[in-house]
A and B are shown apart, each in its own frame.
Chain A
């Protein structure tokens, strides 16, 4: 299965849900906004998102300071 992640390509060997994918990518879920196939995916929806072939994901991670 092949998905687009942050403009690049990621290959997944097995079915996986979004929270596990973020964990694999070592992304802190508290500091990231996820755009999933062109729409913002609120954190509450993540556990229901099973990644599919051709999905397009952008993970926008914030850093502190202001």
Chain B
């Protein structure tokens, strides 16, 4: 074992049982921006960290509430904490060597590009449709990869949650129609499926396999 391998953490050693050093180097070279640390953002981050991504800019101004615990990557003893702080703690339990910029601020059209300026990929992980639209408008022609989500509420028909390529740099995950309503709450399985598909797409992009997602966007 080389000196360099001796210094690598047990988590990273574990990753190297699955990835080649070249693959892991590609993954670790990415910086991921996550806009919203709710059901999509927290679970997408969890999947990305387990996949080896190390550099994150995570932005959300909410606090952890009891209604979040049905699907978001937080724990009961974190109620009242800023989500970005709680998420950084939880992600570092998986990999202590993460570099996370945790910003408890509100994202708007005026600051979105600045907040995520250093990121290769931006994950749209908001809950409100108006906010999703704002972020997509901000990054649509930015040259960054943008991975949005729309249509993940309720339960059942989980295979309808798809990955669509809207254009070269813009992908969308979801069934496009299942909106959160009084009778159709956001639940862990479908939210996690969407978040995991966002993460899988980013992993594929990092490993240059994005042609897997060549489905045409047509509504």
Least CB distance from B34 to A in Å reads 11
B121-158, CB < 8 A from A: 125-130, 132-133, 136-137, 140-141, 148-153
Q: Does the CB pair A33–B137 fall under 8 Å? A: yes
Q: What B residues does A66 contact at CB under 8 A? A: 36, 38-41, 125-127, 132, 149, 152, 186, 191
Query: Number of A interface residues, CB 8 Å?
Result: 19
Is A60 an interface residue when CB atoms closer than 8 A count as contact? yes
With contacts A6-B219, A7-B218, A7-B219 known, is A64 near B136, CB below 8 A? no
Is A47 an interface residue when CB atoms closer than 8 A count as contact? no
Q: What A residues does B219 contact at CB under 8 A? A: 6-7, 58, 60
A4-36, CB < 8 A from B: 6-7, 30-33, 35
With contacts A7-B218, A7-B219 known, is A63 near B137, CB below 8 A? no
Q: Does the CB pair B166–A65 fall under 8 Å? A: no
Q: Does the CB pair B140–A62 fall under 8 Å? A: no
Q: Does the CB pair A63–B218 fall under 8 Å? A: no
Q: What B residues does A62 contact at CB under 8 A? A: 129, 132-133, 136, 148, 150
Q: Does the CB pair B141–A39 fall under 8 Å? A: yes
List the one stretch of B8-16, B177-185, B205-213 in contact with chain A: B177-185
Question: Mask for A49-62, Cβ within 8 A of B = 1, else 0?
Answer: 00000000010111
Interfacial residues, chain B to chain A (CB-CB below 8 A): 36, 38-41, 125-130, 132-133, 136-137, 140-141, 148-153, 166-167, 172, 174, 176-180, 186, 191, 217-219
